[in-house]
Chains A and B, each alone.
Chain A
Amino acid sequence: MSYDLFFRSRTPAPPVETSAVRLTTPRARPILPALDGDMSSGAHEAVAGRERIVPVGGAQVRPRNRLSLTVRGEGRLAYALLAPTLLVILFLVAYPFCAAIYLSVQDKMVGAPGRWVGLANYAELFRDDVFARTAWNSVVYTAVAVALKFVLGLTMALVLDQERRFNNFFRTLLFVPWAVPVIIVALNWRWIFDDLSGFLNNFLITTHLSSNIISWLSDPGLAMGCVIAVVVWAGTPFYSMTFLAGLQAIPRELYEAAEIDGASIVQQFLHITVPRLRTIFLTTVMLSTIWTATNLQFVLVLTRGGPASRTEIFPHLAYTTALGARRLGMGAAVSLVFFPLLAILILLLTRRMLRQADE
């Protein structure tokens, strides 16, 4: 339990009154399972996915105990304090978001005014063969990358959760890819995959594992696999970090008790570990899906969508359309086409994160 993830050491524990308020709030009480009393202290506090225990009513509970501090006119102060943040949200996110929709129904080019063209951009896009291929690629790319990151991340977390000497050191090393700028990761891997002098071919030929040069990134059958491998390399630490935090927050007594009852290792994993990590699994996968699906740097550096659109994905297609072909309107249409699916994820995640924060 040396993995001190939080500020427990320095920041004081949350005030006791919080739980008192919670208990007196009729909406929160029925949902508290009996177990919560035993586990709400200590390690349990560290779990990010506490929402199983108090799923609703948090938002209403919190402000109520602040009532003593409320004065009339706080609204004005609040909005004054929030003004910079609101300006950023409105002008740098909300407005551009709406502008994207407006752009997508124009034929705007870089440096030239646009004309209203209705849904012509979308119609052209849907007729294009590249669209179907890009849609398929995007789904495969995202699904496979997320699945592999999940499996590898869980493996890494389980390995690091075992007891061994120098574990902290190994953990630091394994998480390092997280801290490296994505663009550097992509460039570095492009060099590893290089046909003539890259590490992979160099290594395979030196060790006589292969006698001919493999064109990793320009072989239609290999390119997508290579891109996904890089995405997985860069993204796995994020999964293992969150999973490891979850694993270390599970009280060891649960496993001991299960062992005494004769549960096998597999049973312990399926009936203790997995249920305990379920919320972390979900949040991590949802966050990562959004970021994986919308990251264009890997494709941009490694393959530029090639060979023959084999690795073309939506964010990269939007990028090349808007900046390569200078068609801003069409580019906006491309980026909006893949947004609805993401929007569902974003809305679900927003709800989850608000709920977690209110506890």
Chain B
Amino acid sequence: MRSVSGTRRLLRWIGNGLLVVLLVWTLVPFYWMVATSLKKDKEIYGFEATLVPRQPTLANYTRLFAATPFTKYVRNSTIIACSTTILSLVFGCLGAYALARLRFPGRNLIARGLVFTYLVPPALLFIPLFTVISTLRLVDTHQGLILTYLSFSVPFCTWLLMGYFRSVPLELEEAALVDGCTRLGSLVRVILPMSLPALAVVAFFSFTQSWNEFLYANVFVNSVEVRTITTGLTLFVVEDVFFWGPMMGASFLSALPPLVLYLIFQRWVVKGLTLGAVKG
């Protein structure tokens, strides 16, 4: 007994030590990103390069807004991520309700197809999708990108919402149906109000995924007018020369929306993850 409590104390100290190491490992890259964005070029490159900015300046940020299409990229990312989120939520709610509450031939097959679809990686689909988008003449359009984002967002939203809808007590819906509510009516009046937190979480996942997406955005869009923020960052690379100051500033700002959302939703993130969400 004594040896166990002794080991426990030892473990606590090892744990605290490891925690420090893990925190350093996790946070140093963020420090470097922010520090670089606050430096003058003189401190970023060459012999006078510093670890801590000596004369912090917001010059990189002002340059970002004044001299680059950064705001345009932010606007594009917002439009695309929001549209994708709204569409997938609507499609997801309808589909999930059918899968959770209705009985029909092919139900299990569709559920299976949904998961399978979600797991098929974009790295496999981007080449044929490129020909699809070209044929539809949707290259370099918001619509084209939104359409391709639906390919990962809709299966995922439907799948997660199906799980949530199932946990809404059946009696409530039965009561509504007995009182003459239609199926759609009970979805809107009973299920959705009870699933608001779930809807918020699913929206969070969908938005973050679309905001962070890079591969499709890179392949299906070239023009500055439609570019999203993730591909816009490559603007700061010219002929293999990186402009690290503004790039780190842009990186930091572009990471903020998903970061803030993560801080708000972190309690629920894990549930989505164990159901097979987002990246790993």
- A242 near B155: Cβ-Cβ < 8 Å: no
Instruction: Pick from B11, B117, B177, B233 the residue with the most CB of A within 10 Å.
Output: B117
- A97 near B23: Cβ-Cβ < 8 Å: no
Q: Mark B236-275, 1 if CB is under 8 A from A, else 0.
A: 0000001010011001001100110111001111110111
What chain B residues lie within 8 Å of A197 (beta carbons)? Answer: 44-46, 49, 244
Q: Does B57 contact A (CB under 8 A)?
A: no
Q: Does B64 contact A (CB under 8 A)?
A: no
Q: Does B4 contact A (CB under 8 A)?
A: yes
Q: Does A257 contact B (CB under 8 A)?
A: no
CB distance from A319 to the nearest CB of B (A): 8
- A174 near B101: Cβ-Cβ < 8 Å: no
Interface SS, B side? helix
Q: Does A350 contact B (CB under 8 A)?
A: yes
Q: Given A11-B167, A350-B116, A354-B111, are A88 and B151 also a contact pair (CB < 8 Å)?
A: yes
Q: Does A131 contact B (CB under 8 A)?
A: no
The tally of residues in A whose CB lies under 8 Å from a CB in B reads: 125
- B259 near A100: Cβ-Cβ < 8 Å: no
Cross-interface CB contact of A349 among B32, B119, B183, cutoff 8 Å: B119
Q: Does B82 contact A (CB under 8 A)?
A: no
CB-CB contacts below 8 Å: A84-134 with B: 84-86, 88-89, 91-97, 99-100, 103, 108
Q: Given A81-B95, A265-B8, A291-B279, are A96 and B258 also a contact pair (CB < 8 Å)?
A: no
Instruction: Pick from B44, B127, B259, B274 the residue with the most CB of A within 10 Å.
Output: B127
What chain B residues lie within 8 Å of A17 (beta carbons)? Answer: 170
* A-B contact list, 18 entries, CB within 8 Å: A63-B103, A66-B103, A69-B174, A78-B102, A81-B94, A82-B99, A84-B90, A89-B113, A99-B132, A179-B261, A190-B242, A202-B49, A291-B121, A319-B126, A331-B127, A346-B116, A357-B111, A357-B163
Spell out B's residues near A (CB within 8 Å).
Answer: 1, 3-4, 7-8, 11-12, 15-16, 18-19, 22-23, 25-30, 32-33, 36, 44-46, 49, 51, 90-92, 94-95, 97-99, 101-105, 107-108, 110-117, 119-132, 147-148, 150-151, 154-155, 158-159, 162-164, 166-171, 173-174, 177, 183, 194-195, 197-198, 208, 211-212, 214-215, 219, 230-231, 233, 242, 244, 247-248, 251, 254-255, 258-259, 261-263, 266-271, 273-276, 279-280
Given contacts A3-B267, A191-B247, A242-B274, 12 further A-B contacts (CB under 8 A): A11-B167, A11-B194, A12-B194, A17-B170, A74-B102, A79-B104, A84-B91, A155-B22, A170-B23, A173-B26, A295-B123, A319-B123
